Amino acid sequence: MSDLGKRTIQVSIALGAIVGLIGCGEQASDVETPSRDFALSSFNGLTSINGLTSINGLTSINGLTSINGLTSINGLTSINGLTSMNGLMTTSAGRKTVSYLVKCALAANDSLVKADQNNVNYTFAGGLGLCPQWKNGGVSTDATCQELVSACMMAHVNTAGVHVPLWLDAQTPAIGWGIDKVNFPFQEGSFFGNIIATGSLSGQGHPTATAPLAYYCDGAGFAGGSAGVVAGRLGASQQSSPYMNPFGTGTLCKNSSGVVAQYSYGVGGQSDPDGYKALTASGTPWNNTITVWRNNSYNPIFDTSYQYALSTAITGGNMVMDAGTSPIQQWDASAGLVTSVFTMNPNGSNWTISPINQSTRCLDAGAGTNATSVVLNGCNGSSSQSWSITPDVQTGNFFVKAANTGRCINVRGGSTAHGTVMEVYDCNTTWASEKFAIQATVYAGDQTGAVVNQTNTSGSTPCASYCSGPTQMSTQSDSITNISTNAMCYESTFPIYGFNCGNMSGRTFSINGQTINCGGNMSPPAKVNGGYCFQISAGGSTSAYFGTW
């Protein structure tokens, strides 16, 4: 055995909210396996509200390309390949789906620029390179391309809208084989099928299959118990997940009929295979599967462009946190109140929580002593408004802890009644009244804040003195990964409290003209022209990254 070629691809949309996980992904590439093979570290975060649901094309009769302004007949760059006038490019949720599609299809040193219906250009970054030919040409007869992109997009679904690190395995050379027994020790599951096409797949080697087909099967690592589950992922009571298990409950991928498994360490050298060269469903073998490995311990990262509902486990989802009054209370989820929908914004390593109709007000724990009611106050940056959100790995729920005292939000008295006040109390891992299901949702309409990185040509911006045509970063918590070996320039006018960077060997990384030596989490230099200009010189490798929060 020789050391695995170090190759980490952080598969995140430019919208990010994942910067806190970058360091984990970098270390995840240090595994041992045959030198010709490699696997990939990645991040999920595509929710079911972003184009992989029945209202957006993935139904029993329609594939993604059918009604979403997307076609496999033409290249993505063409007018008809991905249209600007209808479908995915016309909403922020749809554009987020496009960002994952491009991240799966195109290589790390490539990108796609497309306009929306208002002629606003968006730049979507490549990542895995599973179907680079789709950029400029049609793939309607390319089964391998369609199946790999399908599996990739399904593997990145997180219906809760939470970003967590993943390890991917597949027989395609763009991903490869290899396992990381330390950082990603549990096989979660495998994804396969075709969500791109519609109709009979007999011309693609599947005479008994009719697309779209979205399949998954379970890995042995998260069968329950102490191994745990992750919110929005397999085994965590996903809401509106776009795939199904063709083998039924209790049958693992490795035990399914017709399976062909890959063992990098030999059958006796590892408990579970890296992944699968073939899984059989709908009477036909699928050779383009992608297998996901995870850890049962992770730091949840929320997406600043999503809206979230919070519901305690004690009510079984019938009640949600509501900020229509202060103190905060729980109220009927069926009421669909705007005050029951929140945004999560980074505050260092913690989060502030604000109702979407009062974005300048934050949940506040006050003194944080036992039984102190949680109230709504003007956001002021205090520790009582900063919340540490940690997973309960056995249920897929979360504990929401006040940073000033470490006490958890609790439904007072463990009540299931609406109108019950939310308080902070000593954390107790056995109390269902302190365990929150956090679910990405949409209260109304398009999310205007959910945009991908755009090109800025203004002459009075932070980068005006350093570079021309910088890529405008889309959010405060942004992750820029798989950076081209060309000289690159990025710009942000968001309030940035910290950043990190890595894999910059052979390159110069600077912020507002100040050269940065990467290492750990750092604070940015003073603003220039109201913001920050991030420059990376040419050279080095495409594994370079930086993130902000």
- Decide if 144 contacts 150 (C-beta within 8 A): no
The tens-digit pLDDT sequence of the chain (549 residues) is 222 222 222 232 222 211 112 122 222 221 222 222 345 555 555 544 443 432 222 332 344 554 456 677 777 887 778 888 777 887 777 787 888 889 899 998 899 998 888 888 888 888 889 999 999 999 999 999 999 999 998 888 888 888 888 888 999 999 999 888 888 888 889 999 998 888 899 999 999 999 889 999 998 876 554 456 777 788 777 777 788 899 987 789 999 999 999 998 876 778 889 999 999 999 999 999 999 988 777 888 888 878 889 999 999 889 999 999 999 999 999 888 889 999 999 998 899 999 988 989 999 999 999 999 999 999 999 999 999 999 987 788 999 999 999 999 999 999 999 999 999 999 999 999 999 999 887 664 433 333 333 444 445 788 888 887 777 776 776 767 667 777 888 888 888 888 888 888 888 899 988 888 887 778 888 888 888 999 988 888 767 778 887
User: Which residues fall within 8 angstroms of residue 347, CB to CB, at 6 or more apart?
Assistant: 381, 385, 386, 497
Contacts of range 504-508, beta carbons closer than 8 Å, 24 or more positions apart? 504/536, 504/540, 504/544, 505/540, 505/541, 506/539, 506/540, 506/541, 507/536, 507/537, 507/538, 507/539, 507/540, 507/544, 508/535, 508/536, 508/537
- Whole-angstrom Cα distance, residue 219 to residue 212? 23
pTM for this entry: 0.71
Three-state DSSP class for residue 149: helix
Tokens of 458: 């203004």
Topology at the third CATH level for domain 307-441: Trefoil (Acidic Fibroblast Growth Factor, subunit A) (2.80.10)
Residue 475 gets which letter from DSSP? S
State phi, psi for 54 to the nearest 5 degrees: -65, -25
- Whole-angstrom Cα distance, residue 516 to residue 501? 9
Sign, Cα dihedral of 267, 273, 278, 283? positive
User: Which residues fall within 8 angstroms of residue 3, CB to CB, at 6 or more apart?
Assistant: 30, 32, 35
Q: How far from the centroid of its chain's Cα atoms is residue 508's Cα?
A: 29
State phi, psi for 326 to the nearest 5 degrees: -130, 115
User: Which residues fall within 8 angstroms of residue 287, CB to CB, at 6 or more apart?
Assistant: 147, 171, 277, 278
Domain residue extents for the chain: 2-294, 307-441, 453-549
When the candidates are 1.10.3470, 2.40.128, 2.60.120, 1.10.60, the CATH number that belongs to 453-549 is 2.60.120
- When computed from its CA atoms, the radius of gyration of the chain, rounded to whole angstroms, is 23
State phi, psi for 97 to the nearest 5 degrees: -60, -45
Closest Cα to residue 91, out of 123, 113, 69, 71? 69
